[in-house]
Homo-oligomer: A and B are copies of this chain.
Amino acid sequence: MTHIAWEPRRLTAVAADLPEGVTPPGTRGRILQAALKLFAEYGFFGASIRDIARAVGINSATLYAHYPSKEHLLAELIRLGHEELRQRLRQAYAEAGDDPAAQLAALVRAQVLVHTDYPLLALVANNELHALSPDRAAPALELRAEARQLMLSVLDRGATAGAFDVADVALAGIAIGSLGMRVANWFGPDQPYTREQVADTFVGFALRLVGSPLPHG
């Protein structure tokens, strides 16, 4: 702390910080929201529990009546972020049908929308995982591996079926993942795009990237 806020920080203010329904009621929820904002802005080690408590408007000791430790707070946020991504990817994939191009489009769209809807959560989940002890980070890593596997299987199937033209499936998966992941770093109310515009555009980028002949002019 002792930080003066200045513009080009990691984030821009955003309306909904946490997914619907998962925010705990009352003070617990406000603590989680404040921790999310401060972790996203200053990093786990850069934000103290006193900073978080001050943002909530309570004493730092009171924080421990709701969460057992600072690390638990981070672990909970990271868990929420990964759960939300997993759920959205699964649903998108399940509703996409059999066409690899449609499946890829659904996955990219879902990933982009998670990052536009909860950029702070995505930022923390992506960048602050290193502050967690190995056993506490393991679940997030599993979810991450699952998401990557889903993407790779779609790419693989599309390539085998001739729908995609990719020389290296793994690199294509990394590239497409990179596209969506960094959305959290720049998307915000200070730029002119809607979440749907970004999603549509990036789906188009991903399809072009894999050489899908379908949707371009």
> Chain A interface: which size bin?
35 or more
Closest to A126 in B: B185
Q: Are A202 and B175 closer than 8 Å at their CB atoms?
A: yes
CB distance from A45 to the nearest CB of B (A): 4
CA distance A201 to B201 in the complex (A): 21
CA distance A179 to B208 in the complex (A): 14
Q: Are A168 and B201 closer than 8 Å at their CB atoms?
A: yes
Q: Which residues of B contact A217 (CB under 8 A)?
A: 165
CA distance A198 to B170 in the complex (A): 11
Q: Which residues of B contact A172 (CB under 8 A)?
A: 205
Q: Which residues of B contact A23 (CB under 8 A)?
A: none
The one of B4, B41, B167, B186 in contact with A134, judged by C-beta atoms closer than 8 angstroms, is: B4
B-binding residues in A (CB < 8 A):
4, 6-10, 41-46, 127, 129-131, 133-134, 137, 141, 165, 167-168, 171-172, 174-175, 178-179, 181-183, 186, 193, 198, 201-202, 205, 208-209, 211, 216-217
